[in-house]
Amino acid sequence: MDSLPFLILVLEWTIRLMVVPIIALRCRPPAALAWVAIVSVQPFLGLLLFLTFGNSRLPRKRIAEHARHRRSFQLDLFPLLREYYVDPEAASEDRSRHLLSVQLGEIPALKGNSLELIDDTQPAIQALIRDIDEATQHVHILVYIWMDDETGRRVCDALIRAEQRGVQCRVLVDAVGSGRFLRNQSRRLREAGVEIHAALPVNPFRKKLARIDMRNHRKLAVIDGRIGYTGSQNICNADYGTRQLEWHDLMLRLTGPIVLQLQAVFCQDWYAETEVQIPREEFFPEAESMGQRVLELFPSGPTYQTQNLHRLLVAMIYEARHEVIITTPYFVPDESLLQAIEVARLRGVIVRLLLPERSDQILVSAAQRSFYRELLEMDVRISLFQPGLLHSKTMTVDNRFAVVGTSNMDIRSFACNLELNLILFDELSVNTVVQQQQKYLAQSLPLKLTAWLQRSRWKTLLEALARLLAPLL
């Protein structure tokens, strides 16, 4: 028994000496320092946490397969979309933005689209149900959170009605975000003929998943290859089961050539989970021009070799000349994003952050607040949304460029989650998003540096401690 403390000590130092080099090889410096600190203080717990959460990369085989499928889909879509592609070289003033987004997202911008912005949960869900009820061929839905609540069951009922009409329905939901829904509703859907699968199941013996908090955070729907949806809206009641805060989401209803790109993303994710190819000739109809909107779909996540969305947003902030407006529920920037904002302010660019006053994530919220003083001292204009939890994710630059979608402004969204955003290039589309941001601003209160500095030292200390974990959040 006397040797037990010595044995524990040896094991602790063995863990420290073995894990630290692995951390250095696998993690970026900020995250590496955080992990080294955790493992140094609590070797056994730190090792367990690192093995569970520390590897932000998918297996190489899955990355290679995903890249091959992306290239294959773009080659197959070329004849259908050729006349709608926007040539970056002919984009005049926006040439650099088009080139960068194509290089990072691997999908070109398309003209000939229409766009409807829906800024409330019930109208968004009602529009989706209406389109499902009018479907004649197929319905594809991919979503992070599908709750077993009144809203979730209404959409289930619509899918069952569609199956009864002979419409093929496929559903892909995140295994963690929609765990209860899968347990309670998947059997009913399967019995009705709906194909439903879990994305990234949590299974330590499943080689396709390297990290249990690496989630498929995308939200999209495709109806008959003609109508598409994407944005921040999950399939659930507006309170997300909290019975307290009403969440404010943003959904985009799309028609035109861009819907075929949405379809391609769904098919790729479906294959990644099921290894079943959806027949392309049946689900990719001839594209038709439906409007004047110039849009580009921008998938991101660990299936890409680089943090492509992070690079795009940082580059756009550096390019800004007049104003950058960001709305996000979670803002935990890394050093490069923070530096881009600081440089923008030094160049005289107005930077506005619209953030929720209240949050559902205690630790993330504390880390987020730890940046407020630094941002306010840069003269960044922070406004706190009052009516509920602002869950909309948008960024506009100079009224010439906008990003709307599923991604938050944090490391998890940039490095760990599969995300889906839409880039808007035309003036009318961008102005639509700016007008929505102004609506949020009208329901927000400005945060002043003088008031912020008067908070208690305990709050400041707790937020500073939370900030130490920011690279891991």
Catalytic positions: 217, 219, 224, 391, 393, 398
The β-bridge relationship of strands 350-356 and 381-385 is parallel
The residue written with tokens 């909309």 in the block is 392
**Rounded CA separation 233/32 (Å):** 33
Burial class (CB in 10 A: 0-12, 13-18, 19+), 250: buried
The residue written with tokens 């050539």 in the block is 257
Q: Per the structure block, which two tokens stand in for 304?
A: 């890409």
CB atoms within 10 A of CB 429: 25
